Amino acid sequence: MTATLETLDGLSRRITLNINHAEIEAEVSKRLGKIARNTRIDGFRPGKAPLKLVAARYSGEIRGEVVGDVLQQDFAQAVHDNSLHVAGQPEFAPAPEGKFTVTFDVFPDITLGELSGIQVTRPVVEVSDADVDRTLEVLRTQRVQYQTAEREAKDGDRVHIDYVGSIGGEPFEGGESRDFPVLLGEGRTLKEFEGSLTGMKAGESKTFDVTFPEDYFAKELSGKTASFTVTMKSVQEAHLPEVDAALAQSLGVHEGGITKLREEIKENLAREAKRRVQARVKEQVLNGLLATTPFDVPAGLVAMERRALMEKAMTDLKARGMREQDVRLGDETFEPQARRRVALGLLMDEVVRANGITAPQEQVQALVDEFAQSYEDPSEVVAWYHQDSERLNEARALVLEENLVNWVLEHAQVNDEPTTLEKLMGTK
């Protein structure tokens, strides 16, 4: 076998293999002889069929297997001889004069850029009593109960109505409903419609006009004015649970009452704040690494990642009830995301390898323990992780990623910026 290596564009390479066809035919004959000893062909006892008949039936298949084996072996030898690092799946193709070509990508040589040029803004936040109070209020709101109110409806009330709408005296699709619930002030119905319900009592009826906005989702109604006749069926006011031991118990805190509940809320908020800070810092670090370390990305790996992302998207869409034939989605949609993911994977692997970054077992266990603290029975969660090596490997990958980020932070420009929990969470 002789092999010729060519450098194509970027990371693409091509090897031309000149295989020994005499050796291939000899191997084909050898395998045919082995098959002939046990082959059953009609009209002959097992193993007694003439070799010509056996060859006529099986030689094509066997020759393909032999050529495939030889190509794989010769390609592997050529890769070794030329000290190549193949990225992705090579493509084999026949060439003139009985030769074969193999086109493939190689991994890039990555030289880490100047990390001191990376700028990271790290949020610094302390969970306050006010943050705990706001969370308690959210928890109370999630457990709201509504009770009948013998008065006019106002913001915050839940009302049930019957309504009939018409445009130019004619009914329209979606313009009628019975026992329709509306939470006044929530803004899920048109402001003009909802505002007309305020001040009505149960049993009252009212007729009013509503003009649909020009950008209304139902295009056939956009900009048109409808007349609605509404009957108020009921008015209910919100009653929030008291902040007491009963609320704590409903939230899984059976001892320690509100004091213990506030402690757990504060701990959970602190854990979530830590995750948000880590995510923001990580994003800046990874963007900085990519910006300071440009390199070519193997096209084959990007293509594989594109297909994987598209298949995942298709699976998600079908799980939501969409039919595959109705989805207009090509893998080119995922090109930027795929390219970034491949580039980051290669870059992070190089940083880890070159700098001896590891994920110690005690650190992996600490992360699992931290995850478990968010659950009612942490020991069950810890056991769940240890039941499957894949789950532990996922935790190990997160630790490795965290240690990589911390290593970069030691060399980057880091600016600690005090902030509030509300701003960090994006709620203010």
Classified as helix, coil or strand, 2 is: strand
Task: Give the Cα separation of 57 and 256 in Å (integer).
Answer: 82
Helix 378-386 to helix 361-372 angle, to the nearest 10 degrees?
A: 140
At 47 the pLDDT is 61
For the cut 80, the answer to whether the pLDDT of residue 32 exceeds it is no
Position of tokens 């809320």? Answer: 265
pLDDT tens per residue across span 112-130: 999 999 999 999 999 999 9
The CATH code for residues 145-239 is 3.10.50.40
Does the pTM surpass 0.85? The reply is: no
Average of per-residue pLDDT across 165-189: 94
Q: From CA 418, how far away is CA 328, in angstroms rounded?
A: 45
Average pLDDT over residues 25-35: 77
Residue with tokens 């096209």: 299
| Distinct helix (H) and strand (E) counts, the chain | 12, 11
What is the structure's pLDDT at 49? 63
Q: pLDDT at residue 48 above 70?
A: no
Angle at 186 between CA 184 and CA 187, to 5 degrees: 100
Residue 51: predicted pLDDT: 67
Q: Pairing between strand 100-106 and 205-211?
A: unpaired
Q: Crossing angle of helices 389-409/335-355, nearest 10°? A: 80
Q: Token pair for residue 255?
A: 């001892």
Find the range with the poorest average confidence among 61-75, 246-260, 402-416.
61-75
Per-residue pLDDT, 11:
95
CATH annotation of 2-106? 3.30.70.1050
Give me the residue spans of the domains in the chain.
Answer: 2-106, 145-239, 247-425
Average pLDDT, the chain: 90
Given a cut of 70, is residue 38 above it in pLDDT?
no
Asked which of 45-54, 157-166, 340-349 is least confident by mean pLDDT, the reply is 45-54
What is the fold of 247-425?
Trigger factor, domain 2 (1.10.3120)
Q: Cα–Cα distance between 236 and 148 in angstroms, integer?
A: 4
Terminal alpha carbon distance of the chain: 69
Of 219, 152, 224, 170, nearest in space to 192 by CA: 224
In the prediction, which pLDDT does 55 show?
67
CB 9 within 8 Å of CB 86:
no
Task: Give pLDDT tens digits for 64-100.
Answer: 888 888 899 899 999 999 999 999 899 999 988 888 9
Structure-block tokens of residue 185: 């002030």
Residue 282 scores a pLDDT above 90: yes
Find, among 262, 247, 233, the residue nearest to 145 by Cα.
247
pLDDT of residue 46: 65
**pLDDT value, residue 136:** 95
Q: How many residues does the chain have?
A: 428
Give kind and range of the element (H or E) at residue 237: strand 225-239
What lies within 8 Å, CB to CB, of 108 at 6+ separation is: 11, 295, 296, 297, 298, 346
